[in-house]
Structure 1
């Protein structure tokens, strides 16, 4: 009787491809809604408010779907990256925290405020229980993804990939600088721009893993058939 394990339903490369899609999809979905949503002002309204109103389900679905795509990519990275190497444990767990935060943001919506959705008083309202829970999502997402960047920056530096190491430091720095600048300037577009930089970093990480380590991606699948 054969003792071989069944071949996994989803190859490692397909899981990594989910991560390649997640970041750009998230950015494009937000950009499309910002340009078409009546009453939404990207300067005054945080992107989470897109989950409110008649068409709020679109952003809710975007949060959840992109979060699931990120979690799938984490499974792909853990198959491909060698056990015991820098980034495989903490780096992937932090990326999982990023994906889970996206899903969390979709499950617990923020509260109406500042005139959005249309008809809402032009001031901050009392925070609801789900609005309070939602507030943990951007903090968790930002911290997890920023630290993940730095973990992988060390990995790239050890591999001699200076460009990627620099990118992995610049991305979280840009995200944090623009994010903090959004409050004194009262312009949430800065926060959105910083987010786009770091969200696409995670997608690029999956892409470079696929293109530079195709043999490892195949090995990640084959090792589970032995």
Structure 2
């Protein structure tokens, strides 16, 4: 089952980015410079975004399980696998708890951040944040893991992905709703999913992670 699990993990990123991009383009009133992708869970077609989060999160969990079986004997990194499991579970959990409407989306919502946050809005933020931290940990741990095996390219790729995601997460917490922060976080999300997809495909193609 290792290869199908890795394939599932590899598909998560393209589905997330692809569906999210289409939603951002076709949903009335959505502006990626102003709105976070999480707001797409609101409105008439918000269920599509929620289902996408749950589905891609579970695919990422499957990929993490496959990756855990792909390490050479005695060399499995529990922190890396655990970080990816947390990330996938966090994305899926965030899909089950809708972000609160804000900043004029969906249309008719006041053009400002809500004064109070609902339980599901709070849960969405916590689940997403914990998941993002899991991905950052996995990136840093695998950067060191690849570095020890003189796989310089993958070590740097993992390190850069972790740093970019960390900076984007800090920026999101400090200035959500601004164009620079939103676009920066969007770039980080795309980079993170790209890293996961390529990691899964590498392990699947070579038969093991090395």
Match of 1:197? 191
Q: Does 1:92 align with 2:81?
A: yes
Contact 2:35 2:177 in 1 (8 A): no
- Cα distance between partner residues in 2 of 1:86 and 1:14: 19
Give runs of ≥4 in structure 1 deviating > 2 Å. Answer: 175-185
CA distance in 2, matches of 1:58, 1:194: 22
* 2:178 counterpart (156, 164, 186): 186
The SS at the match of 2:58 is helix
Asked whether the equivalents of residues 113 and 124 of structure 1 are also in contact (C-alpha less than 8 Å), the reply is yes
Bigger mean CA offset, 59-68 vs 121-130: 121-130
Give how far 1:177 is off: 3.0
Q: Give the deviation of 1:86 after TM superposition.
A: 4.6
Unmatched 5+ residue regions in structure 1?
A: 1-10, 218-226
Q: TM (normalized to structure 1)? A: 0.85
Residue-by-residue CA offset, 1:74-120 (whole Å, 9 max, x unaligned): 12112222453152x11111100000001111111110111111111
Q: Which of the pair has more CA radius of gyration?
A: 1
Structure 1 residue 59, shift from structure 2 partner: 0.5
Q: CA deviation at 1:180?
A: 4.0
Number of residues paired by the alignment? 204
* Cα offset, 1:69, TM superposition: 0.4
- Structure 2: state its 5+ residue gaps: none
Provide TM-score, normalisation by structure 2: 0.91
1:121 corresponding residue in structure 2? 110
State which drifts further: 77-86 or 160-169.
Answer: 77-86
